[in-house]
Amino acid sequence: MSEQRVAMVTGSAGGIGRGIAVALQEAGFEVIGVDRIPHEEGLLPRTEVVDLADAEACEDLVRRVGRVDVLVNNASVLVVKPLEEFALTDFDKAPPAGMFVDVRTLPS
């Protein structure tokens, strides 16, 4: 008998990520939900509250989680303000939210 496959879904506290996490769980995966905000109680058996833009927090997450067979990199950062108030640094906030967890979950 094979081990249950493990899926990590970032941005899983709501929206598309939540739907993906629930679908994977229904398909028989052990799902680890990761988001920077807490998940709804009882949604998933295993959740982690982590700011994925924080490299140290991502490294700690990978150490705690261990094996990951499927990674769904759904996390994003939404900056809401009038366009004339945007700075170039605001556009830099979205990519880092998922980059660290991608690289650090790859097998060495």
Q: How far is CA 63 from CA 39, 56, 94, 103, in A?
A: 21, 11, 24, 13
Model-level pTM? 0.76
- Compute the average pLDDT of residues 73-96: 76
* Rg over CA atoms, the chain: 15
For the stretch 9-61, pLDDT in tens is: 999 999 999 999 999 999 999 999 999 889 989 889 999 999 887 888 888 99
Confidence bin at 3 (pLDDT 50/70/90): confident
Q: What is the CATH number of the domain that holds 44?
A: 3.40.50.720
1 inside domain = no
Domain count, the chain: 1
77 inside domain = yes
The Cα–Cα gap between 100 and 58 comes to: 6
